[in-house]
A = this chain, B = another copy of it.
Amino acid sequence: MSIAVPLSAEDMVVQATDDASPTKWHLAHTSWFFESFVLSAHLADYEIFDPAFNYCFNSYYELLGERQPRAKRGLLTRPSIEQVLAYRKHVDAALERLFATGFPRGFDQARLVEIGINHEQQHQELMLTDIVALFAANPLRPAYRAPTPRPRDGELPEINWIDVPAGLYRVGHEWSGFAWDNESPRHSVFIHKYRLADRLVANAHWIEFILDGGYRNPTLWQSDGWATVQRESWIAPLYWERRDSEWMSMTLEGLQPVDPAAPVMHVSYYEADAFARWAGARLPTEFEWEVAAAGDDNSQGRLNPAHGESGTLAGLRQIYDVAWQWTASAYLPYPSYRQPDGALGEYNGKFMVGQHVLRGGSFATPLGHTRATYRNFFYPHQRWQFVGVRLASEAV
């Protein structure tokens, strides 16, 4: 909720694009999620706040009934933000009553609550991405928050390459601590030797790519990517615009000059892939990324326990705290993956075609939310998230 503080009721109701959702909708949907998946089934005396809300705030769960079409979430001027806040209170109070019961049915109940919390964390980040989308579409280019005075780095840090040997590695999550269903089962995978960039591609690199005609040279692009570049007239990352021959970019701090030393953000998979080809490199697979982030003990099965960089390969930077990183891997189920039963099976399990995996986390990801095995996923053309690029290449 503190995320919504700088926003007016007007800011919270409007939907910037079909991909984005209104802040109010996020606020209501996360409570609806607790209501539908936890409280209705697990709190004996729970009373549904308003039966009409299921239609309004169900995102995409076919098993939970009809719902407001995704592209029309921004039409919900009613229920009002006040009603939604009351809804959140109602749900929070019920959750506290549930906590007081001590989860008599044990693991399953606790896991559902944990899922609800992690679900809400995801939406915390989405609220911020969607606010940037909204304010970027506004001719006044408003700022969500005041810019922190930041020394612009005089020097562009060099990218160093970390070598990783070939071998049979264990990847995926082993169910100690929370993880999503799509991170399991933990399993073996053979990985060829490779090199991974220690840091993300910077804006300065991207400007070089632009100046070298990257957006005009079809041979750098996958066919679908090139078609998108042409159709959408892409000439730079999303939110970039020229003002007086300087590149500016829309951010939470409003329209700001592009900082050459900062990692590039708001690029699609198509662009990340084309950039990598231009740079003589490639994108890492999700397992190349995971093995490096999880650290050298990975072969013995120890996972990097939490948000943090202990255990990762020496020198690896900007893993979880700057921008999600496109991988070369399509988002597909792991061997022996089983969709959870019921509507929760729809959470991650019905998006396993046509999307690519992103790894890491962004500056907007809640602390403690992410880990080495975490699999984020988006369509290759999407770029409104806080997404950047880490390169890989064949080992020499």
List residues of chain A with CB under 8 Å of any chain B CB: 8-14, 16, 24, 52, 55-56, 60, 62-63, 68, 72, 74-81, 134-135, 137-140, 142, 168, 187-190, 192, 218-219, 221-226, 269-270, 273, 328-330, 332-333, 335-336, 345-346, 350-354, 356, 380, 394
Cβ of A134 and Cβ of B353 under 8 Å apart? no
25 A-B pairs within 8 Å (CB atoms) are namely A10-B12, A10-B13, A10-B77, A10-B78, A10-B80, A14-B75, A60-B223, A62-B218, A72-B137, A75-B137, A75-B138, A78-B142, A79-B140, A189-B190, A219-B345, A219-B346, A221-B350, A223-B346, A223-B351, A269-B353, A328-B333, A330-B330, A353-B356, A354-B354, A354-B380
Chain B contacts for A63, CB-based, 8 A: 219
- Are B77 and A11 interface neighbours, CB within 8 A? yes
Cα–Cα distance between A157 and B235 once the two chains are bound (Å): 49
Task: Identify which of B75, B224, B270, B354 contacts A134 (C-beta below 8 A).
Answer: B75
Query: From residue A286, how far is it (CB to closest CB) to chain B in Å?
Result: 11
What is the predominant secondary structure among interface residues of chain A facing chain B? mixed
Cα(A140)–Cα(B199), bound, Å: 50
Known: A72-B137, A187-B192. A353 touches B77 (CB 8 A): no
Q: Is the CB of A190 within 8 A of B192?
A: no
Q: Which of A56, A77, A135 has the most CB of B within 10 A?
A: A77
Most buried by B among A8, A9, A140, A354: A354
Complex-state Cα separation, A74 to B22, whole angstroms: 12
Of listed A74, A190, A269, A351, residue having the most chain B CB within 10 A? A190
Complex-state Cα separation, A337 to B228, whole angstroms = 24
Given known contacts A78-B135, A225-B353, what 20 new A-B pairs fall within 8 Å (CB)?
A8-B9, A10-B24, A52-B139, A56-B139, A60-B223, A75-B137, A75-B138, A76-B138, A76-B139, A77-B134, A77-B138, A78-B142, A79-B140, A188-B192, A190-B190, A192-B336, A223-B346, A223-B350, A224-B353, A353-B356
CB–CB B75/A10 < 8 A: no
**Within the complex, which residue of B77, B80, B332 is in contact with A328, where a contact is CB–CB below 8 Å?**
B332
Given contact pairs A80-B10, A140-B52, A380-B354, A188 touches B190 in the complex (Cβ within 8 A): yes
Residues on the B chain within 8 Å of A336, using CB: 192, 394
CB distance from A324 to the nearest CB of B (A): 18
Please tell me if the beta carbons of B329 and A332 are within 8 angstroms of each other in the complex. Answer: yes
Q: Which residues does chain B contribute within 8 Å of A80, judged by CB atoms?
A: 8, 10
Docked Cα-Cα span, A226 to B299, in Å, equals 39
Which residues of chain B come closer than 8 Å to A12, judged between CB atoms? 10
User: Whole-angstrom distance from the CB of A294 to the nearest CB of chain B?
Assistant: 17
Select which of B13, B79, B273 is within 8 A of A353 by beta carbon.
Answer: B273
Q: How far is the CA of A344 from the CA of B132 in the complex (A)?
A: 37
- State the Cβ distance, A52 to closest chain B Cβ, in Å: 6
Complex Cα–Cα for A273 and B350 (A): 11
Taken together as a complex, chains A and B put the C-alpha atoms of A221 and B221 apart, in Å, by 31
Interface centre among A13, A137, A226, A328 (most CB of B within 10 A): A13
